Amino acid sequence: MKNIFLASFCFFSAILTQAQINPESDSDGCSQKCSRANAGQMQQRISYYQYPSMDKYDLHYLKLDLSAEPGSRFISGTAGWKARAKEPMDSFIMEFKNNMVLDSVYINGVKKTFQRGSDHVFIPLSPTVSAGSELDLTFYYQGTANSNGVFSGSQSSSGLTYTATLSESYQAREWFPAKQFLGDKIDSADIWITTTLPNKAGSNGLLVAQVPKPGNKMQYQWKTRYPMNYYLPHFSVGNYMEYLNYAKPAAIAPDSILIQNYISDNPTYFNSVKTNIDKTPPFIELYSEQFGLYPFHEEKYGHVHAGIGGGMEHQTMSTMNSFGSTLIAHELGHQWWGDQVTCASWNHIWLNEGFASYCEYLAIESLPSLFTTTAATYMNNVHNNVMSVNTGSVYVPDTDLYNEGRIFSGRLSYNKGSAIVHTLRFIMQDDNLFFQALRNFQQQYKDSVATATDFKQVVETTSGKNLDDYFNQWYYGEGFPTFNITYLMQGVDSIVLVVNQTTSSPAVTPFFKGLYELSITSTQGDTTVLINLEQNNQVFKIPYQKTPNGIVVDPNNWVINRTGTIVFGGVIPVRVNNWKAEGLTDCSFKLQWTAENQGTTENYIIEYRADSNQFVQVGEVLPVAGATASYQFTYQPNQSGTAYFRLLSVDRFGLRTYSPVISVEDPCRPQTAVNIRPNPAIDHAEILLNIPVAGNTQWRLVNSAGQVVYKERRALPAGRNTVTLPLQNLAAGMYTLEIILPDQNRYIEKLIKK
């Protein structure tokens, strides 16, 4: 269904959205503000109750034999059902609006009593019907149907007067007794409509007979043998002319598929829409390639013209308010997405509307000469419409199951639904795989119903890819990401990108992981790169040898997103100053440094080695806030000796910068130390000796002529010692003091005697 919400109350918003998204059709993409309620035709949130015991039987055949006239919602005739009891039944219940008059009900040829109430019909069964029983029901009824299930009127623009049914989502019961369970498709139907000539009646399947009736009437007998959901049987009567096309999908060559169009019998109007109607064959041929052969090729496709505000994908014959190219593409796409495979519940309307909307894109993309817009413009407009509100999921929550404004939200079910199919195609990174997955899904669920989970499983099986993130973020999740990117060149052959993301609905979807395309623009030519974003502020280093001048996020509109800030070189690598170390009396080392431009620093790593060993990491310091900061770090090695340190700064671009290596003596290892005091001295001096090992130590004083003028030898303990050196008998002048330690190391100091 499309554009059904176009109505006077939402006229302006519908036209504005339309102008952006679908310039060729006369209405489109109404926001959830627009609904049939606004048009006096559809309640946003309907009051609805359904008796679960209706699912005790399976409906498999429908026969409608009705009379209707263009311009009137009065309908009369019979509805026949064939049903099979799935379990014992003591009553048969159908849905049928109370305003319609039910004259009589027959089951297996026997007239039955019945009750009406709550828009249901209750038929007691006595005796109880056993499981497996076949029931043949006939309902005789008449009445003027409500305007939310049957549309009638005239179109001044086309000269058409019409009456048309539209049952999606809960309105089949407005015009015939129905069981509105998505899971119960009928196998076949015969729909006979009698109307006054020269009017015609369009419906599902093949027109097998036209039988004249008294009073200048004609009965149009339509017959379909394809399974069909409860909301897809339909009819339209109007002053139609017939126009035929034929589609020729390669799969059935040289056969062709009939396209039967019932259009207002007005040559001027017909000439104005013929060009677009003639696009239907190439669209069928395209989708037959992409999704598998047109599902109902044994019967027909077609259009029937009626003022329903938009389009409705009635199986094998869509009802059309107008004939815009994208509307034609959309309703045709539904023949696969909605009709052959139907959403199993309205929660998953995506499988109908998201995909039918994406069919518009596919037609524009593959057959651009048939459109005035481009695929890029089209998808860009879709994204802009989605992002006009920060929240909302494609998935319809249970609380909105009777809110038709939400189920058929143009922004969420149609536009976001379409955009995320495009995203899925991008994730596949392989169009063959993507379309194979779509064909597999169609094949697996044809003539049946499916949920998004079923679809997910088929795509995962086909592709081997896990789609948990995709569905959690884009289908069940809400909102969209905004990207902020910092980029800079690293050397002359790499570009570094820091990718930051904020989201519009962070309480529901805080992050959108996954593949993204980025275009690095340059006067030397743009470069498109593919990134797999797994966390926020992720750094990507990419080989790149041009001079960049910008980044374009998602240049091909694969993903709903906005671009925030794109900053080039906004960051300079950190600079470490005043890098120093000192030994402390507790045998540890205190390291200190200051840092400038540390805005992007991830951490500082302290590396240590003793003597000739390899550097190892011995500590990590995280940066404090601010561009400039001072740090200190204390480290106590478990081995003695000279310590060597260097500091590694790591920033979030992956840049790793080392400080110079500094060395420090071990504060706890005794070192040989010789100190003479006072110096110069008059009559004696003291020698301060700090020695690492105990043993015999010699010292002697040599004058400037090389003569030994004093010597002494003594056993000294390790550590600090003080010995006295007598000078009173020596001449004034320069002397050399030689000290020979127990380890035979020799120290020489100058001494001046006054």
Which residues lie near Zn ion (CB under 5 A)? 1-2, 353, 356
Residues for the chain: how many in total? 754
Q: Which CB sits closer to Zn ion, 3 or 138?
A: 3
CA dist., res. 550 & res. 54, Å (int)? 62
Helix (H) or strand (E) holding 126: strand 120-129
CA dist., res. 575 & res. 629, Å (int)? 11
Q: Which CB sits closer to Zn ion, 138 or 171?
A: 171
Nearest-approach distance from CB 325 to Zn ion, in angstroms: 15
Nearest-approach distance from CB 2 to Zn ion, in angstroms: 4
- Report the DSSP pairing between strands 448-450 and 514-522: unpaired
Q: Which CB sits closer to Zn ion, 417 or 623?
A: 417
Q: Phi and psi dihedrals of 605, rounded to 5?
A: -115, 125
CA dist., res. 144 & res. 100, Å (int)? 7
CA dist., res. 386 & res. 392, Å (int)? 9
Nearest-approach distance from CB 241 to Zn ion, in angstroms: 26
Q: Phi and psi dihedrals of 383, rounded to 5?
A: -60, -45
Q: Which CB sits closer to Zn ion, 286 or 329?
A: 329
Q: Which CB sits closer to Zn ion, 356 or 420?
A: 356
Nearest-approach distance from CB 316 to Zn ion, in angstroms: 16
Q: Which CB sits closer to Zn ion, 2 or 753?
A: 2
Nearest-approach distance from CB 196 to Zn ion, in angstroms: 32
Q: Which CB sits closer to Zn ion, 370 or 407?
A: 407
DSSP states of 468-496: HHHIIIIISS---EEEEEEEEEETTTEEE
Nearest CA to 91 out of 61, 116, 54, 136 is that of 54
Q: Which CB sits closer to Zn ion, 174 or 339?
A: 339
Nearest-approach distance from CB 322 to Zn ion, in angstroms: 14
Q: Which CB sits closer to Zn ion, 5 or 220?
A: 5
Q: Which CB sits closer to Zn ion, 1 or 160?
A: 1
Nearest-approach distance from CB 313 to Zn ion, in angstroms: 6
Q: Which CB sits closer to Zn ion, 304 or 356?
A: 356
Nearest-approach distance from CB 279 to Zn ion, in angstroms: 17
Nearest-approach distance from CB 201 to Zn ion, in angstroms: 23
CA dist., res. 555 & res. 96, Å (int)? 52
Q: Which CB sits closer to Zn ion, 166 or 488?
A: 166
CA dist., res. 21 & res. 41, Å (int)? 25
- Report the DSSP pairing between strands 662-664 and 629-635: unpaired
Using alpha carbons, list the distances in angstroms from residue 432 to 123, 358, 366, 425, 438.
Answer: 53, 17, 15, 10, 10
CA dist., res. 276 & res. 273, Å (int)? 6
CA dist., res. 661 & res. 608, Å (int)? 9
CA dist., res. 317 & res. 328, Å (int)? 11
Q: Which CB sits closer to Zn ion, 57 or 151?
A: 151
Using alpha carbons, list the distances in angstroms from residue 541 to 270, 357, 563, 575.
Answer: 59, 38, 20, 21
Nearest-approach distance from CB 6 to Zn ion, in angstroms: 13
Angle at 549 between CA 545 and CA 551, to 5 degrees: 95
**Token reading at 585:** 């009396």
Nearest-approach distance from CB 3 to Zn ion, in angstroms: 8
CA dist., res. 473 & res. 748, Å (int)? 79
Other Cβ atoms less than 10 A from the Cβ of 191: the count is: 23
CA dist., res. 417 & res. 385, Å (int)? 12
Nearest-approach distance from CB 187 to Zn ion, in angstroms: 24
Nearest CA to 711 out of 719, 702, 720, 703 is that of 702
Nearest-approach distance from CB 246 to Zn ion, in angstroms: 25
Q: Phi and psi dihedrals of 270, rounded to 5?
A: -55, -45
Q: Which CB sits closer to Zn ion, 285 or 353?
A: 353
Nearest-approach distance from CB 22 to Zn ion, in angstroms: 12
Q: Which CB sits closer to Zn ion, 190 or 353?
A: 353
Nearest-approach distance from CB 311 to Zn ion, in angstroms: 7
Nearest-approach distance from CB 174 to Zn ion, in angstroms: 19
Cβ-count burial of 493 within 10 angstroms (0-12 exposed, 13-18 middle, 19+ buried)? exposed
Nearest CA to 7 out of 146, 144, 148 is that of 148
- Per the CB < 8 A criterion, the answer to whether 321 and 158 are in contact is no
Q: Which CB sits closer to Zn ion, 2 or 411?
A: 2
Nearest-approach distance from CB 182 to Zn ion, in angstroms: 15
In 526-661, DSSP assigns E strands to 527-533, 538-543, 548-553, 562-568, 575-583, 589-596, 601-610, 616-621, 629-635, 643-651, 656-658
Q: Which CB sits closer to Zn ion, 355 or 589?
A: 355
Q: Which CB sits closer to Zn ion, 107 or 407?
A: 407
As beta bridge partners, residue 78 has 65, 140
User: Dihedral, CA atoms, 352, 354, 358, 360, nearest 10 degrees?
Assistant: 70
End-to-end CA distance of the chain: 115
Nearest-approach distance from CB 336 to Zn ion, in angstroms: 12
Residue with tokens 């395309």: 517
